[in-house]
Amino acid sequence: MSTNVLIDEEVIGGAVATDVRSAAACNDGTTTMVELFFSEDLHDIARAKHLCTTCPVRRPCLTSALERQEPCGVWGGELFVNGRVLAHKRRRGRPPKHRPAEVMVIDGVDVVVVPEIRSA
């Protein structure tokens, strides 16, 4: 039986077991990643989302964050702001008329950070 099946059965059963939380990629036991998952920096947010891509409990994490309407942070690979999933986070201040996507390397993988540009 795979880990994902075991985790899905435990979550569907109604109780999120302690070992499910311990299986999360963000749980290093030292709480050093808290700042990464609740940062305002675009690069930190991209790193947190990238870490979630390898997590075996990503789907249950996202589902429970949606149910709780988490006010902020990266949960299950998605960014929450004011209880809603935000597709793109933009930098503070007035955005330029045109800003290309940034490519950053995280753990040897190219990750594209696409800034949201809204017109008034």
* Secondary structure letter of residue 115 according to DSSP: -
* Contact yes or no for 88/115 (Cβ under 8 A): yes
Statement: residue 15 has pLDDT above 80: no
Higher pLDDT, 103 or 67: 67
| Residues in CB range of 103: below 8 A, 6 or more apart | 110, 111, 112, 113
| Residues in CB range of 66: below 8 A, 6 or more apart | 85
Q: Which of 57, 56, 36 is nearest to 48 (CA)?
A: 36
Statement: residue 8 has pLDDT above 70: no
Q: Which of 92, 59, 104 is nearest to 78 (CA)?
A: 59
Domain boundaries, the chain: 3-90
Statement: residue 71 has pLDDT above 90: yes
pLDDT at 37: 93
**How confident is residue 67, by pLDDT bands cut at 50, 70 and 90?**
very high
Q: List pLDDT tens digits, range 87-104.
A: 777 767 776 676 677 777
* Secondary structure letter of residue 91 according to DSSP: P
Higher pLDDT, 90 or 6: 90
